[in-house]
Structure formats: structure tokens, C-alpha cells
Structure 1
Amino acid sequence: MRPENGGGTKHTALPSRFLNLPNDFEFAGWGTQTNVQLTNEDRRAGAHALDETRSKAILGQFTASALAGNAVLGSVFYALPAVVAVSSVYSPISLFAATLVLFLWRPVMEELGSALPISGAPYTYILNVSTKSFALVGAALMLLDFASTAVVSAATAASYLAGEVTLPFPTFVGALLVLIIFTLISLSGIKEGARIALTVLSFHIGTMVILMFCAILHWGRSGMGQFEENWHVGRVSSPSGVARQLFNGFCLGMLGLTGFECTPSYVGRIKKGQLPLVLRNLHIPAIILNSLIMILVLAVVPLETILSGANVLSILAERAAGRWLRIWVVVDAIIVLCGGVLTGILSACELLEQLSYHRVLPDIFLRGLPKTKAPYVSMILFLAFSCVLYASAGADLVVISQMFSLVWLTVMSLFPMTLLLLKFNRGRIKRDSHTPLFIIILALIISAIVFAGNIAVEPATFGYFAAYFLGIVILFSITQNRIYLLRWIYWIYDQYPRLHVASPTRSWGDRLIALMVHLKRQPVCIFIKTDEINNLFQNVLYVSKNEDTSCVKLIHFLDEELGIPSELEANARILDEAFPEITIDLARLVVKGSFEPTNVIALAHHLHMPPSLMFMTCPGPHFPYAVAEFGTRIIAL
């Protein structure tokens, strides 16, 4: 029987799957129905948190471009050698074609960014348009992408340094030292600000402009001799051979665009309407830089030297202008690539922080050092993962670069896939642009073709990619479904009655039960507007499938004039019985005003829970507020 005031334990006549425990173990308590009043302190906390959220959107088109621009335009240092190795003298054509492909992705990213201006994409995008399990697949790919960014940047920086000075240790040791040094820098609390990134990017662009200018002058003085010699040595006679080299270079040419996927990860900090300009600022220079420098390399440097694995751009600088420009280019390479290492570390920490807020990872990942507040657990574990990734590839930069290309392609394919889900599952949401369906499908087809092409170039790299990707997905699946796994462990324990012997201290069974109760204690909130039981049921079913919790609070913003919907209380009671493992509370929120960000954040303060554990239905096209301001998750149409 349901107690009049709620509480107590739900019972059932069905037998329990556990032999030595009563049914009480599997069933939660009865829900309650209450009115909630927000205090002045709650309102002040909500207004303050909302002001902080709005104040974060301060990046204009140039500062926002700089954050990802160092990765996009810095990739020229490791993309060119990889492309030349498979495309030879046809590399400029392959690189040019690869950079043009981003014209398909720009409208996709623009629509997603305007519909869901939430940082942490594509993980946060998928979390709002699909299931949490699919979002964790995106998170696994992002973590692998950040680790590959850090490792490739560190290894390339060490390679450029080793090309100029004699290191007292192997190059791979230098790469590991770069990873360790920048992890220590991150632990000190120093973060890569937008202005610092803009300064570094400006220095890099200036260096590349001077390099190209000097190379063009040298080419004009020396003539076409070197280019013709390289063409004679590297060209292929058969049309099929040419087509194959062009295609292989096109596939690996995507390395020259790595970093482009980072832009949506901080879209919440970009001023409204600036995202299209940011994507343009990253794309156009990438087209010019990759294609033109590749032509100049073939016009100035012998093909044999290019294929030898030497620092191609530093050799180009020395042949074009002398030793001084070579040193300049090497310094630029080290600065830009080390910035990429720092970006990978900090981006990974932000992702792990989001996963902790969504209860995929334990709260230990949110712990910071006393003085710097740096998340030391995340940074140390990311460093260890990056070192293992580098060591397992035999410290081979080519292997890591090719795997990086696979990871990047898979991450980029998530954007058109997510947009398809958004159009189907969240079609009502307001956005500034609408991408034609054929562009989305074409982007997915090209992703699949280029992914297969990269595997064909070097099948072994797919093994590295698959092993690490599956390993991370399995780890996230375990942490996401830890209560389900604990129930299996308890069931195995329960099959042996001898283990259930009373003792002065708690038995293993008692500890398992206490741990499961603790993990399920954190409630989640669902904001509801109507009393339609089919919608209420779908919302609670989403929570049951995607969240490890035994407490759900249905929150209705009560309109004092219209009153509460007539069937809401009755339907809440029905749902409370339909989900015996969940306590479903109905809270009628009495507020002056409507469903708006300030009241939602104030309620989160009142209930002592993060907005990330509050869920809502998809707002319509005339909804006056930005979704990002709520900090909640969209779980239904």
C-alpha cells in the first residue's frame, strides 16, 4: 500500500532474483507530491550563475579562430611528409582536393552550432539528440583525438629539434619529455588564453608568409629545373597508378585539416553569429597554406630529400633564404606544436570534467590541486594514456599520424550524423540555418570512402585505432553501467549462502548494497509542461535506460491562474507504480514568472544538484531563450 505521505518501500508479489534477500532490496520508495518555493538566495544564485554563463561568450571571430587555428595551420609540419610518402609529386593536387571537402562540413557545423550552442561537442551534441550510450562513443573518439593531437605534436616538435641539435637521448625520449613538461605546466595552473593563442598564430602565419615569399623568390631565380627533376623522378606512367596516388594523398591529406573539429568544442564561448566567420577564417588559410607550400617544396627541395623523412619545411627555409630562416622556422614549429600539446591536454581535461558532471566518471576527476585548482587526476591519467599510445606504436610518428587521420575522420563523421539525428529527433528546435539533406548524406559518404582509403594505405593502423577505441568505449560503458555490473556481482555473491555469515563488521554483501545505494542516491529532474502520460512515460523511460538513479523528480512550473493540469498528479502516481525501481516525486514549482534560465538555475541551487542532471523537452522555434543558458539536457521532441 502507498503511504499517504509517500516514503516506505514498494513491494511486489513476484519473486526476487536474489535468493537470500527480500524484495525490498530491488525496489525504491514511494514518491511524494509537494510544492516548492524558491528563496531569495536561490534567485540570487540563479541570476549570478546565468550572468557567468553569458559572460563566457566573449570570443570574437579572430580570438575564437586562434584557439583551433594553431592546430589547423600547425598541422602543416606533420601532414606534408605523410602525404608526399604516398602521393609523391601529385601531393599538391591531393592536398587541394582534401581541403575543398570542408565546404561540405561548414554548413553542417554552422547549423549544429546555432541549434545547440553548447561547448563540448560533438559529445554534448549527441547527448541532446540521441542516447547517452551513443554520446559516450563520441566521447571515446574525442579522447582518442585529443591524445593523438598531443602525441603527434610532441613527436613532431622533438623531431624538428633533433634535426637542428644533437640530443643526448633518442627522439622518442624527447617527445615524452615534451608531454611531461607541458603536463607540469598545465598542473601549475597556466592555461592557453585566447589572446596568447592569437599571438602564437599570428607569429606562425607571419613565418609561413615569409617562408613562402622567400621560396617564391628562390624559385624565380633558380627556374623550373628542380621541379622538372622531381616530376621526372616521381611521376607514374599508368593512369591507374596516378589515380591511386592521388586518392591515397587525398585520404592522408585530411591530416592537414586536423584541429578543425575542435571549434565546436568551445562554441559556447563564441559570440552569437560569429561561428560561420570562425569556420571561414580556419578553412580559407588552410586551403592556401597546404597547397601552396606543397608546390614550393617540390619546386625547391629534391624529392629524395623530401621522402627521407627530414624536416621538410626547415630544409625549404634553408635552401630558400639560408640558415637564419631555417632556425626561425624550427622555432616556429616548436612553439606551435607545443601549443598543440597543451591544447590536447586541456581539451581532454574539459571532456573528462563533463563526463564527471554527467556521472559517467567518478567525482575524483573533478578534484583540483589546492593552489592552482588544476584537475591533477585527469592530467596525470591523460599523460599516462598518451605515453602508452605512443609506446604501443613503436614511437613511430608515421603510424601515429596515420591513426590520427582515422580518428579525425571518425570524429568529423559524427557531425553530419548528429545533424541527421537533430533534424529527425529535435526538428522543432530553433536555428539560424538549414543544411540541405543531400549535403549531409554526401559528407557521410565521403567520410566512409576516405576512412576506407586510409585503411587501404596502411591496414595496420586500423588495428591501433580499433584497439584503443574499443578499449575506451568499454571503459566508459563499465563506468556508465556500474550499478548494473554491481548487481551482477551481488547476484554471484548471493548464490553462495556461506558468504552471508553474520560478522562484527559489514559483510561484502552489505558493502555492495551500501555502494549501490550511494551511487543511486543522486536524483535527476525532468521538467514537464503537460499531463500527457505517454510523454511522461517516455521521459521516465529515458532516465531508466540512460541514468543510474533511483530518484526522479518531475518538476512542473505552476501557473497560478491556470492551475495544475488535471491529470498530472494521477499520472505521476501511475508512473510511480510502473517503475518500481525508481522513486518518482512530483514537485509543483510555485514561481513568479515562466520557465526561464534564471528560475531553472535557481531551482538547481535549491535542490543542491547540477543543471546537467536536469532534463527538458525540445523547445519550439519561437522559444525566447538559448538552450545553452539552461545547462540542461534535451531528452524528447
Structure 2
Amino acid sequence: MMSVSKRELSLPGEEPDTDSYPMQSLEHTWIAVEPPLPARGAPEPESSGPLDSHPPSFESAQYDIVLRRQRQRPSTGGGVKCSAAPSRFINLPSPFEFSGWGTMSRLELGRDELTRGEEDVQRARGAASLGQFTASAIAGNAVLGSVFYALPAVASVSGVYSPISLSAAGCVLFLWRPIMEELASALPISGAPYTYLLNVSSKTLALIGAALLLLDFSATAVVSAATAMSYLGGEVTLPFSMVCEDGIRDYDAPRKFLLKYRCSVISADETLSRGNTQIRTNWVHGTEDLTAATTARAIFDGICLGVLGLTGFECVPSYVSSIKPGKFPQVLRNLHYPALLLNSLAMLFVLAHVPLGTIVGQGNILSVLAQTVAGKWLRTWVVVDAVIVLCGGVLTGILGACELFERLARDRFLPRLFTFRLPGTGSPACSVAAFVAFSCVLYASSGARLDVMSKMFSLVWLTVMALFPLSVLLLKFSRGRLTRTPRTPLFLAPLTLAVAAAIIGGNIAVDPSIVGYAAAYFLALAAAFQLTMKKVRVLHGLLWAYDQYRVLTRHAWTRTCGENLAAAVSHLRKQPVCVLVKTDEINVLIHSLLYVSQNEETSCLKLVHFYDDEIGVPSEMEANWKILDEAFPEITVDLILVRETFTPSNVAALAHRLEIPTTLMFMSCPGRDFPFGIAELGTRIISL
């Protein structure tokens, strides 16, 4: 290896091109030349000065390369980070695909911003105001109201074994409760299981969960409303959109529980007075010509359909951020035990008073039971109660859908219009209107058939319930450092998934057409959600197709269309996101940028590091930021150093300063010693 000066490399009669050398202070350039072999026995040559010194180390040579590659970086940012790679566009200029160079800045949060940030944190803490009974009442309308359409379905396949099937179906929920408690403790964020999947996996899987969840909420509302109408014989048309606007805070699950308790007491009294003649008769007729195999199949089919008596539990995590800390397990308990006892006892009393032939062919079993044991007055009470409570189930679906719509809007899947609330009541009018319209389309597309909606509802609900063990399995693998209590055993998640798969298979075996109904609705909604996620890529594809035909640029109106497409792509890609980083390790930083590149359609990324004067900024933060800014030519990476401590209020203040919602601020998984909760920060977790 020998050293040659820059002047020695120039041709005779011309000055060396000093512009091609970015580092003006370098005196020499190193060229690899094979040195002559020394003679045998000759002494080693001695160093004669700087020209014979050793070449630069690999580390400094690589650093020099980075400096030379970034010699055109503007000091104030901007410009275009063009690449030598060929462009896919023929006629459009190549810079269209690239972004400008990022900038580094230091900022201090102002007093007004800090005040607003503290107010946001206090408002979020104050939103968790629901106690165990109020929170139970919200989902209680759907959970306890599901008995009106679960009992007839179970009786049609299980007959006299229906109480056994309903009891076993209720016990299945013991597998789900600890899983749901662990998820709610780790991620107490509304919109679950969509938000669970968003924080433990990719956006694609999260959107699949959102599609299933929206279908479940809509099916809950439609089936509840249609069942209520069936109790009135189709004579009353109930505008449940108006009910949602005016009564979204009115819940009557406790009253319904008392009425069912009263019916049970009357039925028990009648059973004691009349004896067990009817139930013995039903048992004899129901067990004729049954073998052990057919009996087991009847009980299993009843279990598969009996889980519909638990619908509504999936709605509780959707508003978990509104429940007081530590009350979520009690809410699940308050819903589980009444559903377990009342469903089984109600079916037992039906068998004790109503002939089996009437039970199998009757849709309004409870009203028949009421008239049998007490007469017309109790039947009227049951019908009125069914209508009111099932309308409450509509409200439960509305509430869950509104939380989901708002979360999707904050994540930029839906327009910001879905975050708007009426000034007086605080009602999410746009979300309610959209949900009602979607539910009407769903019901109309089924031919206004309750049986079709019920089939779709059963499979969708079971699939949504399967998302909870899947989420906790991904939580343990991808976000194991998150603090939560309790921690379920690892085997419980795959066991619950296997049980969910068996129940789904049993429902399909009872009626294979269920797959077609559910798949049609799910695929349509999932495709719509995927389009909202890939909207920039869709527009990019349309722009590419436009660019392939040069003749389109010759006419004014087609040229205007192309310009509008380019402007739309540019506008959508300029919406910024933020990554909160603690370390300057290049592997951590590059994984964060890869997540943004794969999951967010943006060309504007803010890399933010909070620091104080005592510790200072990590030594390699600036150098590694420059490398990342060059490595992603399609993203402008800005480095922002914030001279503040990392607290929820300061993060909220920074969100106001940068005009980026906290839901679009990403961070790595905090450890056990992290003093704040994920719900307080409102950020998304994107790495282990």
C-alpha cells in the first residue's frame, strides 16, 4: 500500500479536480498498490514520515465514505434524495419518488404546550370513570339479552340435553377470562382486539381484526333489533338510530336481571306445586331412539350453539379505557356468572313446563314459559322486557363501533370526521350514522332474513373470540416485557385457540352454509379496510398506469387528472409520524424505520429523543441518523432532540407542538421499571 498525493494523480498540464474531494483537509488519497517483495534477508524498511504511515482503519474509511456520499446534503434540509436506481416512471421526473433530506433540531417545550399536555393526561385519567356495575350494565344488555335467541337455537339441536349444553358452554368462558384480564392489564386501550393486534403485530393483521370486530358489532345490533321485532310480530318499526342518540347512556341490565329472577322464582314455585310430570314426559320423548353417539353429538352441537348465549363479552374490552383501574376482572365476573346460571336455569324451567314439541318449534320460548306459569300478564312483561333489552343490545353494538371508528380515525384509516362529537351531548353523531347505515346495508343484503344474520353472527363472534388467545400469544412472544397482572400460563393460549377452533368447526358442521355468509361479508369489509391502508399505493399504481401512455399528457383534462393524482399522493405522504427513541443503537433505529416503511404510508418521519443536561445526547445519535436518512430515500427523517424528561405530559405536549396525535407516536416496549402506563402515553408499541 502506498500514498499518492492528489496533485500526482492529475494529468499533465491540468489542475486537479478538488471539487470531487469532499474533505478539503485531506492531504493524501490512498490507492491499493501491491508493494515489491523485499530481498531475502533484507531488513524491514523504516518509516520515513507521514507518506509511509499505515492506511486509515476500516472504521474511519467507512465514515469517510458516508461523508463523501452526503456531500450534497443541504445544511437546512430539503432537496431531493435521488438514487442511482432506475425509476419505474417513464415520463414523470424521478424526484417524484424521493423525499428531501432531513434536518436535526433541538427544541424546548413552551409553557402553554406543557399545560395542554398535562390537561390531556388528566383528561385521559378522568375518562376511566366507570365502576364495575355501570361497566357491567353496558355489555349486560347484550350478554343477558342473548338468551332470547340462544335458547331456541340450542333447543332445536340438543332437545332435553339443552341445560347441559348451556352449562358447558358457559363454563368454556373460564378459559377466556384470564386471557382477557391479562390483555386488558397490559394494554388498557379502547378498541380491542384491534388495538391489541396493532400493538403486538402488524397493521394488516390488526385491520383483519377490525373488520371482524365491526361485523360482530353490526350483527349484534341487527340480530338484537330483528329479534325484538319478532317478539312484536313485526308490527312495530323501531328507529334504533334515534335510540342510540338519545339513550346511549341508559342501560337496564340490572332491571332485566331482576325480571328474569322474578320469572325464575315463579317458575320454581310452579314446578314445586305441579311436580315434575312435564319434565319427565319431555325426557322420555326426547331420549327415544338416541344412542350414546347421537346423544354426545346432540350435547356437542348444543355447546357450539350455546356459546351464543355469551355474546357481548367481546364488547367489554372495546371500552376498557373507560373502566376504573382494577375493575375489569370484576366486570367480567359480574357478566359471566349471571349468564351461566340464568341461561341454564331458564332452559331447565322451560323443559319443566312446556312440551318438547312446542319448545323445538317455538322461537319465543321465554314468552311461552311466562304464559304457561303465570298467564297473560307475565307474557306481556317478558315481551316488553325483550324489546327494551334487545334494543339495549343495539346500544352495546353502537358503543363498541363508535370506539372502534374513533380509533381507526386517529390511526388515519378513516377521515377525521369520525372523531367529531356533538357540542351539547358529546354524542359521536358521524360514527352512529355510519354504523346505522352499514347495519341497514348488511341486513338488506341478507334479504332481511334473521336466520341468515344469525348464522353469520355465530361464526363472526367465535372468530372474534379467537382473536383474544391469539393476541395474548403474540403479546407473550413480541411484547413480553410489558408489565401486567395476571400472567396466564403459556399453555392456556393454544388450548383456548384449540377450543375455539373446535366450536367453530361444530357450528360449521351444524350448518355448512354459515361459512358462505360470514366469508362474503368479511372479505368485502376486509378488502375495504385494506384499501384504506394501501390508499397511497393504489394512487401510486394509478399514477404509474397514467405515466405509461405519453399520449395522456397531451390533452389538458388528462394532464389535469395526472397532476391531481400526483398531488393526492404527495399530500397523503406528507402526513408525519413520530418514533420515540431512547438509544442510538443503529439496529434499533433501523428496525423502527423498517416498521414505518412497511406499515405507514408516509414520507415524513420525526425521530425524537428526550434528554437532560446531566446525561446528554447519545454520542452516535447524529451520525446514525444521517446514515438512516440516506438509507431510506423515500422518507425524510428529521432528528428532534427535546430537552425534557420522558413523561406522558411531555409526550402529549410534543404531540401538540408537532401536530401529530399520540396514536401515531411509536416506541419500543417498556420494561418492568417503566414508571408510566401505556394508556397514559397513548403511543403505539412497535418492537420488543
Runs of 5+ consecutive residues of structure 1 not aligned to the other structure? 169-173
TM-superposed deviation, 1:506: 5.9
- Aligned match of 1:626: 677
Inter-partner Cα distance in structure 2 for 1:80 and 1:537 = 55
Change (3 A) 1:13 1:511: same
- Aligned match of 1:217: 269
- Aligned match of 1:569: 622
Deviation per residue, 1:495-540 (Å, 9 max, x gap): 1101112639961110001001111111000000110010000001
Inter-partner Cα distance in structure 2 for 1:606 and 1:277 = 39
Inter-partner Cα distance in structure 2 for 1:392 and 1:510 = 38
**Structure 2 counterpart of 1:222, one-letter code:** R
Instruction: Pick one of 174, 177, 194 that aligns with 1:123.
Output: 194
Inter-partner Cα distance in structure 1 for 2:373 and 2:672 = 57
Identity %: 56
- Aligned match of 1:317: 370
Inter-partner Cα distance in structure 2 for 1:444 and 1:203 = 35
TM-superposed deviation, 1:185: 3.6
Instruction: Pick one of 168, 178, 190 that aligns with 2:246.
Output: 190
Deviation per residue, 1:112-166 (Å, 9 max, x gap): 111111111111111111111111011001000001100110011111112xxxx
Instruction: Pick one of 283, 291, 297 that aligns with 1:244.
Output: 297
- Aligned match of 2:87: 16
Deviation per residue, 1:590-627 (Å, 9 max, x gap): 12xx2110000010011112111111111101111111
Residue aligned with 1:500, SS: helix
Kept after mapping to 2: 8 A contact 1:252/1:402: no
TM-superposed deviation, 1:377: 4.1
- Aligned match of 2:47: none
**Does residue 617 of the first structure (1) align with residue 668 of the second (2)?**
yes
Q: TM-score, normalised by structure 1?
A: 0.94
Which has the higher Rg, Structure 1 or Structure 2? 2
TM-superposed deviation, 1:364: 3.8
**Does residue 302 of the first structure (1) align with residue 355 of the second (2)?**
yes
Inter-partner Cα distance in structure 1 for 2:393 and 2:271 = 32
| Greater displacement, 493-502 / 599-608 | 493-502
- Aligned match of 2:204: 133
- Aligned match of 2:279: 227
**Structure 2 counterpart of 1:522, one-letter code:** Q
Residue aligned with 2:175, SS: helix
| Greater displacement, 233-242 / 387-396 | 387-396
Instruction: Pick one of 498, 520, 531 that aligns with 1:478.
Output: 531
TM-superposed deviation, 1:362: 2.5
Kept after mapping to 1: 8 A contact 2:141/2:396: no
TM-superposed deviation, 1:344: 1.2
Kept after mapping to 1: 8 A contact 2:592/2:687: yes
Residue aligned with 2:579, SS: strand
**Structure 1 counterpart of 2:129, one-letter code:** I
Inter-partner Cα distance in structure 2 for 1:103 and 1:32 = 54
- 1:258-337 matched pairs, under 5 angstroms: 258-337=311-390
Residue aligned with 1:584, SS: strand
- Aligned match of 1:466: 519
Instruction: Pick one of 142, 149, 162 that aligns with 1:71.
Output: 142
Inter-partner Cα distance in structure 1 for 2:188 and 2:541 = 40
Inter-partner Cα distance in structure 1 for 2:363 and 2:131 = 38
TM-superposed deviation, 1:310: 3.5
- Aligned match of 2:39: none
Deviation per residue, 1:386-422 (Å, 9 max, x gap): 2232233333323322321111111111111100111
**More relative contact order, 1 or 2 (CA 8 Å, 6+ apart):** 1
**Structure 1 counterpart of 2:601, one-letter code:** D
Deviation per residue, 1:478-497 (Å, 9 max, x gap): 01000111111111111110
Inter-partner Cα distance in structure 2 for 1:223 and 1:54 = 56
Inter-partner Cα distance in structure 1 for 2:383 and 2:667 = 51
Kept after mapping to 1: 8 A contact 2:552/2:559: no
- Aligned match of 1:587: 640
Q: TM-score, normalised by structure 2?
A: 0.87
- Aligned match of 2:486: 433
Inter-partner Cα distance in structure 1 for 2:167 and 2:321 = 31
| Greater displacement, 100-109 / 372-381 | 372-381
Residue aligned with 1:507, SS: helix
Inter-partner Cα distance in structure 1 for 2:462 and 2:278 = 34
Kept after mapping to 2: 8 A contact 1:82/1:398: no
What do you get for the CA RMSD once the two structures are aligned? 1.6
TM-superposed deviation, 1:331: 1.3
Residue aligned with 2:615, SS: coil
Inter-partner Cα distance in structure 1 for 2:247 and 2:290 = 52
TM-superposed deviation, 1:372: 5.6
**Structure 1 counterpart of 2:97, one-letter code:** E
Inter-partner Cα distance in structure 2 for 1:406 and 1:35 = 53
- Aligned match of 2:115: 44
- Aligned match of 1:153: 224
| Greater displacement, 268-277 / 446-455 | 268-277
Inter-partner Cα distance in structure 2 for 1:142 and 1:2 = 47
**Structure 2 counterpart of 1:448, one-letter code:** A
Change (3 A) 1:276 1:375: closer
Kept after mapping to 2: 8 A contact 1:256/1:286: yes
Kept after mapping to 1: 8 A contact 2:573/2:602: yes
**Does residue 560 of the first structure (1) align with residue 613 of the second (2)?**
yes
- Aligned match of 2:63: none
- Aligned match of 1:171: none
Deviation per residue, 1:204-232 (Å, 9 max, x gap): 01100110011111112222221122222
TM-superposed deviation, 1:346: 2.9
Kept after mapping to 2: 8 A contact 1:203/1:332: no
- Aligned match of 2:161: 90
TM-superposed deviation, 1:190: 2.9
Residue aligned with 1:34, SS: strand
Change (3 A) 1:597 1:369: closer
- Aligned match of 2:40: none
**Does residue 35 of the first structure (1) align with residue 106 of the second (2)?**
yes
